[in-house]
Amino acid sequence: MMLILIAVLILQIIMLLISPLFKYQWPFSLYYKHVFMPLFQDNEKLRWKFYLVPLFYSSIYLGVVHLAIRSVIPQLSSGLHFVDYWFFIPFFIVLTPATGILAAIIGPETTKNYKRRSADEFKYDYLLFYPNIKCRTCQLPKPARSKHCNVCNQCILAVDHHCIWINNCVGLGNYLYFYSFLVLNSLAMSYAFIRSIFIVWLTPHIRYPKSILAFNLLTGCFALICIVFTYLQLSMVREGMTTNEKDKWFTVHEYMREKRLVRSSNGRWYYDLTEQLDLPPDQHEFFSTNPYDGRVYRLHNYTLIEDAEQINNIYDEGSFTDNLRTLCLT
């Protein structure tokens, strides 16, 4: 029976990988239309799919906790202390999933549902974000740092990303719970791994069961994954940007490196999309960094941006703690 389930799973993975390549050929066309597209491209169909990853995380977490309580803690009891039993172990077991649940059920603020002044919390920088723009889907004004989420079907304020692990958007209103969830996962897995390894190392004369090895492998791998992901998330906070803004800043800096980013005398930003940059200045064609503005501009008095120091990120308040406070406590 197990072999049949494994074979079916492998077949499904193969079909998911190759069906887009042969989507016009039968029988792959049927699989692509009725399985691949509803699963990966159509957010309105099979809405239950968005709960698969949170359920996967929950099963992994509960499995690790069950292994710890049933096998690991009794085996390592001689090396555990009062503070382990009455503080660290219950603290991590309870608070880690609790913050995840809060991050999942507490939605971020949106253009349809926000606290007073939240929509005006961030100014427009006229580089990444511009005023007087309506969302093409919501038909509501787009505040600075907002973005429409195709899964949640609404514009999220100060959006970071739609997190598949909690099936919720991360934005203004639930940053605190999301970052707490990341940090607690990293600390919980690191504590479990280091504490177990340390006790085993101090008792080389004891022959421990294989469950201890399995526990160490699981917690060690998950600790590494959680730490890396948490570091990547918090490093963007340090830089004063969100995941949503990261790609926008990358584009801006790419144009700067190609010597195509300019700033006009009135402080507006443009891309020089002239094919030959050695043409006379009056023959250059400029486009606004505003993606909603498709007009061609002719500029005569502008500054070529050649150094990142010439670009000011108004959303960076100068320190990690200030940026974190703005996102979490606004």
Predicted pLDDT at 31:
81
Per-residue CA distances from 286 to 158, 279, 311 (Å): 29, 13, 18
Shared-domain flag, residues 57 and 90: yes
Kindly state whether residues 54 and 164 are assigned to the same domain.
yes
Looking at the fold, whether 4 and 132 belong to one and the same domain comes out as: no
Mean pLDDT by 10 residues, the chain (330 residues): 73 79 82 80 83 93 94 91 95 97 95 77 94 92 94 94 95 96 98 94 84 92 96 96 95 94 93 82 87 90 92 94 92
What is the predicted pLDDT for the residue at 279?
78
Same domain, 77 and 226: yes
Asked whether residue 59 falls in the same domain as residue 168, the answer is: yes
Q: Is 111:155 a contact under the CB 8 Å cutoff?
A: yes
* Residue 318: inside a domain: no
Residue whose C-alpha is closest to residue 193's, from 203, 205, 201, 183: 201
Structural tokens at position 295: 């007009």
CA 313 distance to own-chain centroid: 20
Task: Indicate whether 189 and 280 sit together in one domain.
Answer: no
Close Cβ partners of 43 (under 8 Å, ≥ 6 residues apart)? 150, 151, 153
For residue 169, what pLDDT is reported? 96
- Which among 181, 209, 239 is the end of a domain? 239
Q: Tell me if 325 is assigned to some domain.
A: no
∠ CA 290-294-295, rounded to 5°:
105
- Residue at 324 is within a domain: no
186 and 134 assigned to the same domain: yes
Residue 329 lies in a domain: no
Report whether 289 contacts 263 (CB < 8 A).
Answer: no
Within this chain, do residues 98 and 11 fall inside the same structural domain, yes or no? no
The answer to whether residue 315 is domain-embedded is: no
Cα–Cα nearest to 300, from 280, 271, 324: 280
Residue 104 within any structural domain of the chain = yes
Clarify whether residues 298 and 168 are in a common domain. no
Residues 62 and 195 in one domain: yes
- Decide if 221 is catalytic: no
pLDDT at 206: 81
Q: Which two tokens stand for residue 173?
A: 């209103």
pLDDT score of 100:
97
**Which residue is catalytic, options 149, 152, 155, 163?**
163
Quick check: is 328 in a domain?
A: no
Q: Is residue 327, in this structure, part of any structural domain at all? A: no
- 219 and 298 fall within a common domain: no
Closest C-alpha to 270, from 248, 243, 290, 244 = 290
- For position 25, what pLDDT does the model report? 82
Check whether residue 109 and residue 56 sit in a common domain. Answer: yes
Cβ neighbourhood burial of 133 (10 Å; 0-12, 13-18, 19+): middle
- Structural domain count, the chain: 3
CB atoms within 10 A of CB 54: 18
Furthest-apart CA atoms within the chain: distance in Å: 82
Mapped onto helix, strand or coil, the DSSP state of residue 134 is: strand
Domain encompassing residue 273: 260-305
* Radius of gyration in angstroms for the set of CA atoms belonging to the chain, rounded to a whole number: 25
Q: So what's the pLDDT on residue 1?
A: 63
User: What is the pLDDT at residue 20?
Assistant: 83
What's residue 235's pLDDT?
A: 96
